[in-house]
Amino acid sequence: MKKILIVLGSLLISFCSDAQYWQQTVNYVIDVTLNDKEKTIDAFERITYVNNSPDTLHYIWFHLWPNAYKNDKTAFSGQLLGNSNTRFYFSSKEEKGYINRLDFKVDGAAAKTEDHPNHIDIIKVVLPRPLPPHAQAVITTPFHEKLPFNFSRGGYDGNSFQLTQWYPKPAVYDQQGWHPIPYLDQGEFYSEFGTFDVRITVPKDYIVAATGELQTPEELAWLKGKSGYPKEDKLKYKAPRRGITQPRITRRVLVPQAPVRTPSTAKTKTVIPPAGFKTIQYIQSNVHDFAWFADKNFIINADTCQLPSGRIIDVFTYYTPSNTGLWRKSLQFTKDAIRFYASEVGDYPYNIVSVVQGPQSYSGGMEYPTITVISPMKNEREFDLMIAHELGHNWFYGVLATNERVYPWMDEGMNTFYENKYDVQKYGAQPQMQQLALVAKEKRKTDQPINTPAEKLSDVNYFLVAYTKTADWLQLIESKIGRDRFRKMMQAYYKQWAFKHPQPQDFKSIAQTELKEETDKIFALLDVNGALPNEEYKGFKIASPLKPSSIKEYLTHPTKDLLLFSPAFGYNTYDGFMAGALITNYKLPPNKFQFFIAGLYGTNSNRFNGIGKINFNFYPRKVFRLGQIFVNGSSFSMNEFKDSADRKIYMAFEKIVPGFKLTFKEKDPRSSLRKYIQWKSFFINEQGLRIKPDTLVNGIDTALVLRYNKVKQSSTIHQLQFVIENTRELYPYNVKLQIESGVDFLRPTLDLNYFFNYPKEGGLSFRFFAGKFIYVGEKTISKQFATERYHLNMTGPNGYEDYKYSNYFIGRNKFEGLASQQIMMHDGGFKVRTDLLASKVAKTDDWLIALNLNTSLPENINPLSVLPFKTPLHVFADIGTYAEAWKRNAEGDRFLFDAGLHVPIAKGVVNVYIPILYSKVYGDYFKSTIPENRFLKTISFTINFTNSLFNQLNHEAEF
C-alpha cells in the first residue's frame, strides 16, 4: 500500500508540474541573399510569436548577435580578452561585422525599439498593442548584415561562409521572466522552439548545407551529382519525394508536444533569384535555431542510417578536397554516433543529420539542430569523438533545450558523459588527461562549482568543470544505481522534457525516482568545490620514460601516488657532459608533499653533481589560497684552474635554499591577477684555492710546483619578495619589490615590467628598475671590498655576479670564448659587458636607475624573414644612471645608453643581443680590450629557462 501511495504521489506531482509548465512558440519565415563578394547578406524575416504564457506582454527582447562583432566594446570582445585571445580586439574594420537596416513592424504597425542599457547586440521591441495570453503577433523586419571574419563559430573565411546566430531572434520568456543575453564565445544559447522556413539565395556555384530538410528537388539532384561518395553507394538513393531522399520504410518523427503550424509558403511571395543565383528552401519544425553553410568546394557524401527504433534517416557530410583523407570516414562516424545516442538516450527525432567541415580559422566543433560544423583535424580518434560530441548536442541542446548560459553542465556536461561512454566503447580505456587536470585544480583550490553560469567560469574551469566534472558526477550516479537503471532514468528525462526547457530541478525530480534518499546529497555536490567521491585516487605506481607503457598506464588509471624514474642529462664547460638519473613524485594531480632529486656525473670534473627540491603544499581558505614550504638544493662545478703542472682543478658550489611562498586568494576566478609573498634564505658554499706552504721539486731542473688546497667560502643571503603580476593577454605587467640582506648590507630593489601589444603581433616591452645599496653600520673600505659582488650593476651581469646561483651559465666564470659572452637580466639590464675592468662601468654601492625597452619588428621589415624557419627580430634600447655620475667632479656622462638588435630563439629561452649604438665609455672599453673580431665579441646572450614551457606549465598548475 505504501509503494502505491508513493507512486500516486509522484504521478500527482508530475501532473501538477506539467500543468503549470508553458513555453513560447516562435515560427520563422526568412528570405536571405548572400553577396559573396561583399561578405554581406540581405534578408527579410517574418516571425509568428505565440504567447503561451499567462502574462500580457508589452515588449519583446530581441537578440541582434551579429552586433557582438561591431567593435571592441562588446561583451564578446571583453570575454575573449579575458580568455587571452586578442585576435578580434586587433582585427581590422573589414574583418568586423554588424547587423542594421532593421524596421520592426508588429501586425503591420510600426514598432518602436529601445537599446539595451549595456549591450549593443540586444534590443527591445515595444509592441504597439499588448499581447495577451494565448494570442499571437506577426513581427516582420528586413535586415542587412556585414559578416565578420570567423572569430567565433560563424562568419566567413575566404569564400567559405558560416551563417550562425545570424538573424534577429526573440529572447526566451519563461517562468523566470525574460532572458536577454549578449553573444559570448564561452557560454552558449537559450532560444524558443518553433518552425523555420528559410529560403536561401546564393550564387549558383555554391553548395549549401543547412538545418532541416531540403525542399528543392533540382538542388538535391545537383548535390547528388557533386557527391564524392563511391558510385556503388549512390545506388542507395531513390527518387526524391518532397525534395528528401525516399526512405526504405515509413518515417515516424517523434513529436511529444502539440504540433506547431508550419508557415504556409503559398501566402508568401515567390522569390525570383537574380541572374547567376539560385534560391533553395529548407524547412524544419521543433527546433530553436537555424544555421547554414556555403562553400564552392564542398564534396558531399550521403547515405541513410537505420536507427535502433527502426526509423531510417538521411545522413550527409560536407568537406573540402584538402581534407578528403580523414573525412572519407565521416559518414560512418556520423552513423555510429547517431545510433549510439539514440540507443542510450532516446530516438533521434528528425529525418536528417549533417556534418560540415568548417574553415581553417575555426577551432573545434559547434552544434546546431540537425547539423554540426567540425574544424579540420588530423587524428582519427579525435575526429570521431568530435563528431560524436557535436552530434550528441542534438539531444542535449537540440531537444533538451536548457539555458546553457546559466547551466552549461546540463548541456556540455551531460553530453560529455555520453561522449566518454562512446570513446570507451569504441576505443577502450584512454589516458584521463582532463580528469587529471581537473583533480589538480581541485587540489589547488582553484576549481569552481558545477552549477556556475558559463560567463562566471574561468576559461580553464569552463572545460574542466562544466564538461569533465559534470561527466564524472553523472558517472557517480550511474555507479550508485547501475547502468541499466541509469539508462532508464536518462531516457525518462529525455522523453518527459523533449522539446522543452528543463531546469536543474526538473532533472533532479527525474533522478529522485532512482536515487531515493540520496538525491539531495548527490545534487548538493553541484554547488560545492572540491573533488567528487569518485575522483579520489588510491594506490601507487612506478613509471619511467624508459618504459612508455608505464606512463600510459598511470595516465589511463591514475593512482594517488606515483614515483617517476628517468635518465637525466646536463652540461656546463667545467663538468662537461653530465649524465645521471632523477627520481620524483611530481605529477598531476600534485601531492601535498613533493620531491625532485637528480644526480649527474660530470665527465670533465669526474664529480657527482645534483639538483633537488622538497616542497610541501597547504591550502588556507581565507586570505591565502596556497602556501608552500620548500627546500631547494644544488651543487655543480663553477670554475677551473690550471696549476703550474698544467693540472686542472675544478671548484664547485653547494647551495641550500629553504623558504616559503604564500599566494593570495583571488576574488574573481576569472582574474589573471596574482599576488604572492616569498621568503628565501640562500646558504652557499663556494670552493676557492689556497697555496700550500710546501714545495715540490719537479725533476732534475729543480723547478718548483705550487700545490693548492680547496677551501670553502660560505655566504648567506636572505631574500624577501612581494610580487604582483597580471598575465592577461593584453598589456600584461609584473611588479616585484625585493629586499635582500647579507653580512653588512641591505639591497632593496623595484622591478617593473609592462608589455604593450601591437595590433597584429608582437609588441613593446618596458622594464623599469630602481635599486639602492645600504650598508649596515658605518661604510668602510673593508666592507666595500667584501660586498663588491653584491653591488648594483648597470652593465651585463656575468656569472660571478649571479651570487645566488639562480641562473644557468654555460661557463659561469669564463673570461674568454663564447661562454664568456653570456650575461643575465639583472639590475640595470644593459647588454654590453665590461668584465675585464677592475671596476665595471656603472657599478655602484649607492643607487641605480635604468629603463629597458624592447620592440618586435613587423615581418615585412624583418631581414631574418627570408630564413626557412621563422625567426623574429627585435630592437632593444637601454638607458640608465647611477649615483656616482651625479657626484661633483664626476667624469663622463650622467646617463648611459646602449641599443641594438635582439634575436629571441626558442621563444626567448635563448636571446642574442647585438649592440650597435652605445655610450662613449663602452666604445672606449671595446677599443682597449678587444683588439680583433670586435663586432663578434661585443655580442652577448642570455639563457633563460624561466621563460620556458616548463615554467609556464608550473605557473598554470598553480591556477
- 559 closest CA partner among 531, 540, 584: 540
Helices (H), ranges, 578-682? none
SS3 621: coil
Cα–Cα distance, 588 to 562 (Å, whole number): 10
Residues with pLDDT less than 50, the chain: 1-17, 229-269, 695-703, 948-959
Cα–Cα distance, 331 to 758 (Å, whole number): 44
Tracing cell 501511495 back to the chain, one arrives at 5
Provide the total of helices (H) and of strands (E) in the chain, helices listed first.
Answer: 19, 44
Three-state SS string across 296-307, please? CCCEEEEEEEEC
Tracing cell 665595471 back to the chain, one arrives at 840
Cα–Cα distance, 557 to 128 (Å, whole number): 63
pLDDT for residue 232:
32
pLDDT for residue 11:
42
pLDDT for residue 110:
97
In what helix (H) or strand (E) does residue 594 lie, and over which residues does it extend?
A: strand 593-602
- 721 closest CA partner among 743, 747, 745: 747
- 317 closest CA partner among 301, 293, 332: 301
647-672 in b/e form (b: 16+ CB < 10 A) is eeebbbbbbebebebbbbebeeebeb
- Cα distances from 272 to residues 25, 28, 143, 279, 836, in angstroms, run 30, 20, 19, 8, 85
- 915 closest CA partner among 957, 860, 865, 875: 875
Q: Which three cell numbers stand for residue 235?
A: 545506388
733 and 754 Cβ atoms separated by less than 8 Å: yes
Residue 387 phi, psi (nearest 5)? -60, -45
Tracing cell 527582447 back to the chain, one arrives at 61
Cα–Cα distance, 573 to 604 (Å, whole number): 8
Residue 87 phi, psi (nearest 5)? -60, -45
Q: What residue type is 38 in one-letter code?
A: E
pLDDT for residue 958:
45
Strand 874-882 to 299-306 pairing: unpaired
207 and 225 Cβ atoms separated by less than 8 Å: no
- 297 closest CA partner among 153, 157, 200, 147: 157
Helices (H), ranges, 705-798? 781-786
522 and 500 Cβ atoms separated by less than 8 Å: no
Cα–Cα distance, 221 to 831 (Å, whole number): 70
CB burial class (10 A; 0-12, 13-18, 19+) of residue 540? exposed
Cα–Cα distance, 97 to 100 (Å, whole number): 10
Residue 350 CB contacts under 8 Å (≥ 6 apart), including other chains: 212, 253, 284, 286, 313, 369, 370, 394
354 and 392 Cβ atoms separated by less than 8 Å: no
- Cα distances from 801 to residues 718, 789, 809, in angstroms, run 16, 6, 11
Q: Which three cell numbers stand for residue 228?
A: 564524392
For residue 11, how many other CB atoms are within 10 A of its CB?
A: 10
SS3 227: strand
- Residue 445 is given by DSSP the state T
- 194 closest CA partner among 25, 53, 48: 25
Q: What residue type is 366 in one-letter code?
A: M
In what helix (H) or strand (E) does residue 912 lie, and over which residues does it extend?
A: strand 910-918
- Residue 149 is given by DSSP the state B
Cα–Cα distance, 826 to 767 (Å, whole number): 11
- 455 closest CA partner among 145, 100, 76: 76
pLDDT for residue 584:
97
pLDDT for residue 311:
96
Residue 320 CB contacts under 8 Å (≥ 6 apart), including other chains: 160, 295, 297, 298, 299, 357
Q: What residue type is 622 in one-letter code?
A: K
Q: What residue type is 613 in one-letter code?
A: K
